[in-house]
Structures are given as structure tokens and as C-alpha cells.
Structure 1
Amino acid sequence: MDYEGQICKPPMEIGRFMLPVAVGCSYNACRFCTLFKHLKFRELPLDKVEAELLRVKNLGGSPKKIFLGDGNPFGLSAERLLDVLALIHKYFPDCRDVSMDATVTNVSEKSGEELRALRDNGVSELYVGIECGLEDVLAFMRKDHNSEEARGQIARLREAGIMYSAHIMCGTAGAGRGIENAEATARFLNETGPHRIVNTSLFIHRSAPLFSDIESGRFTPATELENMLEERRLLELLAVPVDFYDGLHDYMEVRTKGRLPQDRERMLARLDMEIERKRERAEMYVVYAS
């Protein structure tokens, strides 16, 4: 299938066959994001989805796990998702593990009955864009939810038997607020118990709406050192089992991954080493302005 847009996939899903079923993001209003600003969200025709499944089957593929693309396929209606799942089962009847990205709003738009039907037909896990635990930051970044709404929708997923994993970002609170944000985010994650966590540094491109806030002085980005100190505090405070945690900064030599709690000390030691290196260098910001 010719892929339109930019591939957005959690690192722990790299080994899964990715089946595009939509283009873009149904929300597409977060101030920091540029991935889908040039695209209008739309569902892909079912015949195109089926053709991709047939292509993979004819190549000898037999995926047991499938990740649906694009930005948030859970923004499709439950009816359309069930149609997609039926096609998956038609060509790959052994596949019973389907995951995808979602927003809190995507979950709220589906009834409990629809969530259970999706689970019964193979939807096992959603990666939800939580980003941070501070209410004023969620509002400033124009996320589609506040923390209370996120807690409520995650509880509904749990009732339906669908696992939730969290996308979060260091640096969303800006300079000087990293530890505060780490503590608020840890409280949220400890309350909601994500299966997996993907943590990245906030990266600001000139084309992002947030860039104008930097130019006007409304937002001061955190340094990479601050982001790593924020991540360290978060890892100290996470008190729930996490099947896999992956912390990616924009410099790939700084990557912290493992299971919690069993790998916590190793992960903290890795961060401590990189933190000391960063202290010896000039401050670095992950802002792309060219």
C-alpha cells in the first residue's frame, strides 16, 4: 500500500505488521504536534485495506499481531473498526491481537457495548496520548482532555477488557517545571496503571503552533538536561508494574528502557550517567527552527 503521511508507531510495536486504515489524526489540534497538520483525517476505503491484507497473505505473511495506522485509528467509528477487524480475521484468522493509537475523546465516543465488541473481535490495546499530568499544561497544549476525563475513559477501557498504554512527553510544562510535571504525571500513571509507557522529549518544529509561543515568550522550552532530570524523577516515583517503558530523547544515545520495577535501578543508573555528561556541555534545546 502507498503510505500517505508520516508513520507514527510506538517503538514496542516495531515488530508488528502495520495496517493503515485511516489517514491523519481526527483531533489534530495539539499545539506541539506537526505530524498530521498537512492532512485531513479520513478513513481509507475498505477495498484498499483488503487489498493490503491480500498482498501480505500472498507474500506468505501470517501476522499474529497487527498495529493499525495512522495517527489515531480509534477515531473511526466502532462500526468501521469492526468491518476492518472482520477483514483481518478473514485473511488472518489466527490474529487476535490488534492495537492502535487513540485519544481520550476517541474512547468517550464509543459506548460500553461497542468497546466490548471491539475487544471481543481482537482489539487488545490502545496507546493513549496522555502527555502529562498537569491540568494547566494540558489546557495550554490544547489536548482533548483533562486528567479527570482521562481517568474516566481509561476506567471504561479496563471494564471492557482493553489494555491501555500511555504516550507521555518530558518538557511539556516548559523550563523550570520538569520535576513538578514528573510528580503529577507519576500520580496519574500510578492511579491508572498503564500496560506500557512511551516517553519522549517535547520536540518543537517551526511549523508547530507552539513555536509562536516561544517567539512571543509565552513558552520557554526545557533543556535536554531538564528533560532527563524530569524523566529520572518520574522513574523514581512510578509505583505500578509496567510491562515495558521506553524513554526516547532526541539524541538516541540517551534511551532508557526496561520493565518496572525490576529494571528501575539499571534505568536510573543509565540516566545518571547521561545527566552527568549533559552537565558538562552547553545547554541543548530540542527546537527545530530552520
Structure 2
Amino acid sequence: MEYEGRICRAPMERASYMLPVMVGCSYNKCKFCNLFRDLKYRELPLEQVEEELQRVKNLGGNPRKIFLGDGNAFGLKMDRLRAILDLIDKYFPDCQMINMDATVTSIRLKSDEELQELYDRKVRHLYLGIESGLDDVLKFMRKEHTQDQAYKEIARIQRVGLIFDAHVMSGVAGKGRGQENAIALAEFLNKTQPDRIVNFSLFLHNQVALYEDIKSGAFIPADEVENMEEERTLIELLKEGPDGHQMLYDGFNDFLELRVKGKVPKDAPRMIEKLTEAIEKYKDEPPIYAYVRGDCPDLSMCDGGRWLWEMDDSKLAQYNEKEKKLS
């Protein structure tokens, strides 16, 4: 199948067969995300989905794990999901699990009976963009849910056996709030006990709504040292579940080419040591920001040379005054 857009799936799904059933994301409003910004959301015709399944079968494929793409396939209406699952069962009856991205809202829109039906039809892992442990950050970033709503919907899917995997983001709370976010996020994850946690350091680029907040001073990014300190605190606070469950953690600081991975809390000391070494390496260097390469060659001096990223109150006041004059 000719794929449209960027491939986006959790690293745990790298060995899965990715079956596109939609283009883009049905929500596509998160301030920090540009994965689907240039795509017009649409559901792919079932005939096209079946043609892809037939193509793979004709090539001798027999996938045991299938990931439905793109963003938030769980948000499809039940009739559409049923039809897709019917096609998968027709061509690959030996498939053992079907995984996909979801949102708290897309879970809320499905009844308990529908959730049970999806589990019975081999749907297993749902990847949720939890991002932050702080409600004001979730609201600012235009996430669709609050923490209380997330608790409620995660409990519903876990009751029927569906597996919750969490996507979180170091730096999403902005400069000076990394520790606060780590503590709140650890509390949430310890209570909900996802099977897996994927943590990406927040990337900064000029094609998303968050960039305008950075320009106005409404959001001041944390540098990568603060992001690593936040991640270290998060790992330090993660606990095993009441049944001895260990969460699989995979943390990415792609800009620094740093990755920490393991089960928590069992592997936490090794992961913390690796982060501490990196923090010591960079803490006395000029601030490093995780910008998208090519967007801005020097993130501290971008957007026509104006200072954007390391603003104290006086610099922010000067910047805002200059903006008023320019406008």
C-alpha cells in the first residue's frame, strides 16, 4: 500500500504489521504535535484495506501482531472497527493481537459491552497519550482529557482485559516545572500501572501551535538537562503494582541520542545512573534544546534573530514590548 504521511507507532510495535485504516488523526489539535498537521483526516475505504490484506497474504505474510494506523484508530465507530476486524480474521485468522492508538475520549465513547467485544476479538494494547500529570498542562496543550477522566476510562478498559500503554513527555510542563510534573505523573502511573511507558523529550519546532506560545512568552521551554532531571525523578518514583507488576519503561532524548530502557523499579538504578552521567556531562554546557533539526539552527536565537527561549522576566517584558511595536 502507498503510505501517506509519517509512520507513527510505539517502538514496541516495530515488529508488528502496520495496517493503515485511516489517514491522519481524527483529533489533531494537540499544541505540540506536527505528525499529522499537513494531512486531511479521512478513513480509508474498506475495499482499500482489504486489498492491502490480500496483498500481504499473497506475498506469504501471516502476521501474528497487527497495528492499526494512523492516529487514534480506536476512535473509529464500532461498525467500522467490526468490519476491519472481520477482514483481519478473514485473511489472517492466526493473528494473536491487534493494537492501536487511542484517546481517553475515544474510550469514553464506547460502552462496556463494546470494550468487551473488542477484547474478545483480539484487540489488546491501547496506546494513550497521557503526556503530563498536571491538569493545567493538559488543558494548555489542548489534550482532550483531565486526570480524573483518564483514571475512569483506564479502569474501564482494564476491567475487560485491555492493556493500557502510556505515552508521556518530559518537558511538556515547560521551564521550571519538570520536577512538579514528574511527581504528579509518577502518582498517576503508579495508580494505573500501564504495561509500558514511552517517554519522549518534548521536541520544539515552528510548525505547531505551541511555537506561537513560545514567541509570546506563554510557554518557556525547558532545556535538555532539566528534561533529563525530570525523567530521572520520574523513574526514581515509579513503583511496582500490588501484584508485583513491573512496568516496561522506554525513554528517549533523541536530540542527545540518549535512550534509557528497562523494567521499573527493577532496572531503575541502572537507568538513573545513565541519566545522571548524561546530566553531569551537559549541566555546565550552554543550554541545549530539543529542536527539530532544520527548523532553527540556533534555538536560543530564532525567528529572525529575536530571543525566544531563555527569557527571564525583564527579557520577556522587553520582548513583549517589541512585539507590540511590531504589530
Q: Give the TM-score normalised by the residue count of structure 1.
A: 0.97
Look up the match of 2:221. 221
**1:177-216 equivalence runs, <5 A:** 177-216=177-216
| Amino acid across the alignment from 1:257 | K
Q: For residues 204-228 of structure 1, what are the alpha-carbon distances to aligned partners after superposition, in whole Å with 9 as ceiling and x for unaligned? A: 2101100011111111000000000
Contact 2:104 2:153 in 1 (8 A): yes
Contact 1:239 1:261 in 2 (8 A): yes
Q: Distance in 1 between matches of 2:43 and 2:209?
A: 25
| Amino acid across the alignment from 2:291 | V
**Structure with the larger RCO, 1 or 2 (CA within 8 Å, 6+ apart):** 1
Look up the match of 1:167. 167
Given candidates 242, 248, 260, the residue that maps to 1:244 is: 248
Structure 1 residue 199: deviation in Å?
0.2
Q: Are 1:71 and 2:75 matched, yes or no?
A: no
**1:50-129 equivalence runs, <5 A:** 50-129=50-129
Contact 1:20 1:68 in 2 (8 A): yes
| Runs of 5+ consecutive residues of structure 2 not aligned to the other structure | 297-327
Contact 1:78 1:118 in 2 (8 A): no
Contact 1:249 1:255 in 2 (8 A): yes
Tell me the secondary structure at the aligned position of residue 205 of structure 1. Answer: coil
Q: Distance in 1 between matches of 2:189 and 2:247?
A: 13
Q: Distance in 2 between matches of 1:88 and 1:103?
A: 23
Given candidates 280, 287, 294, the residue that maps to 1:283 is: 287
Structure 1 residue 259: deviation in Å?
1.2
| Amino acid across the alignment from 2:16 | R
- Number of corresponding residues: 290
Q: For residues 7-46 of structure 1, what are the alpha-carbon distances to aligned partners after superposition, in whole Å with 9 as ceiling and x for unaligned? A: 1110111111111111111111111111112222221111
Structure 1 residue 252: deviation in Å?
5.5
Q: Distance in 2 between matches of 1:150 and 1:177?
A: 21
Q: Distance in 1 between matches of 2:161 and 2:141?
A: 30
Given candidates 248, 255, 262, the residue that maps to 1:258 is: 262
Contact 1:194 1:242 in 2 (8 A): no
Look up the match of 2:323. none
Q: Distance in 2 between matches of 1:96 and 1:86?
A: 14
Contact 2:125 2:164 in 1 (8 A): yes
Structure 1 residue 242: deviation in Å?
3.8
Q: Are 1:271 and 2:267 matched, yes or no?
A: no
Tell me the secondary structure at the aligned position of residue 51 of structure 1. Answer: helix
% identity of equivalent residues: 56
Tell me the secondary structure at the aligned position of residue 257 of structure 2. Answer: coil
Larger Rg: 2
Q: Distance in 1 between matches of 2:159 and 2:42?
A: 29
Tell me the secondary structure at the aligned position of residue 98 of structure 2. Answer: strand
Look up the match of 1:143. 143
Q: Distance in 2 between matches of 1:247 and 1:272?
A: 14
Tell me the secondary structure at the aligned position of residue 125 of structure 1. Answer: strand
Q: After the TM superposition, which parts of structure 1 deviate over 4 Å for at least 4 consecutive aligned residues? A: none
